[in-house]
């Protein structure tokens, strides 16, 4: 059973009952998952190639290169220089990524005690960081030369952080106790 089917069949009715929603459209749902990575060594093309390859392997989608919006002389950064890569997932790919993240990737982290439940932004969106891409099973660790950290943002339609926390908790997000 996929995560989306699980959401439709069990999680949404539980949320409706728990929160007392009167309309099905009030139930919060996940709209997108955004994965960002910033690359500090902007002059090294190999690091960029590796970062985009890793993001493509993890998400199954080609990443977009983000460019500097303005020049900063202290960082030797010019406007238009590549500074990172990002991928935004919707639909089936989003639910597949979340399933792999929750059930395969996060349990593989050494000494994992759960992710912080305080990383909500006040509007029902949740962001957390991963310091090493080697925790993903899709990444071939032997071919990786540099460690690349990334931010993962889960955007929901929830109005409050409590609604979003209930949604992610029912989906199976391993929050620290």
Model confidence over 54-65: pLDDT tens digits?
899 899 899 998
Contacts of 117 (CB under 8 A, 6+ apart): 165, 175, 176
23, part of any domain: no
Q: What 3-state DSSP class applies to 164?
A: helix
148, part of any domain: yes
State pLDDT tens for residues 81-105. Answer: 778 889 999 999 999 999 989 888 8
20, part of any domain: no
Per-position DSSP letters for 57-94, written without gaps between them: HHHSSPPEEEE-SS-BGGGTB-TT-EEEEEEEE-HHHH
* Entry pTM: 0.85
- pLDDT score at 2: 85
Report strand pairing: 150-156 vs 82-89: unpaired
104, part of any domain: yes
Quote the domain boundaries for residue 58. Answer: 29-171
Domain count, the chain: 1
| Strand ranges across the sheet with 82-89 | 64-67, 82-89, 30-38, 150-156, 126-130
35, part of any domain: yes
Q: Is the pLDDT of residue 77 over 80?
A: no
CATH of the domain at 155: 3.30.1440.10
């Amino acid at each position: 059973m996929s995560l989306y089917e699980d959401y439709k069949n069990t999680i949404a009715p539980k949320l409706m009952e728990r929160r007392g929603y009167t309309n099905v459209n009030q139930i919060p749902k996940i709209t997108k998952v955004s994965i960002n990575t910033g690359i500090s060594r902007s002059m090294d093309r190999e690091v960029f190639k590796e970062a985009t390859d890793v993001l493509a392997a993890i998400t199954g989608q080609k990443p977009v290169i983000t460019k500097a919006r303005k020049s900063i002389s202290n960082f030797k950064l010019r406007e238009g220089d590549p500074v990172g890569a990002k991928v935004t997932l919707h639909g089936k790919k989003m639910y597949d990524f979340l399933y792999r993240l929750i059930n395969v990737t996060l349990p593989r982290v050494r000494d994992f005690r759960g992710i912080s439940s305080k990383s909500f932004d006040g509007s029902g969106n949740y962001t957390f960081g991963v310091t090493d891409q080697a925790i993903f099973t899709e990444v071939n660790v032997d071919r990786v030369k540099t460690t690349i950290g990334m931010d993962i943002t889960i955007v929901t339609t929830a109005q409050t952080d409590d609604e979003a926390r209930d949604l992610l908790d029912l989906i199976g997000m391993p929050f620290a106790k």
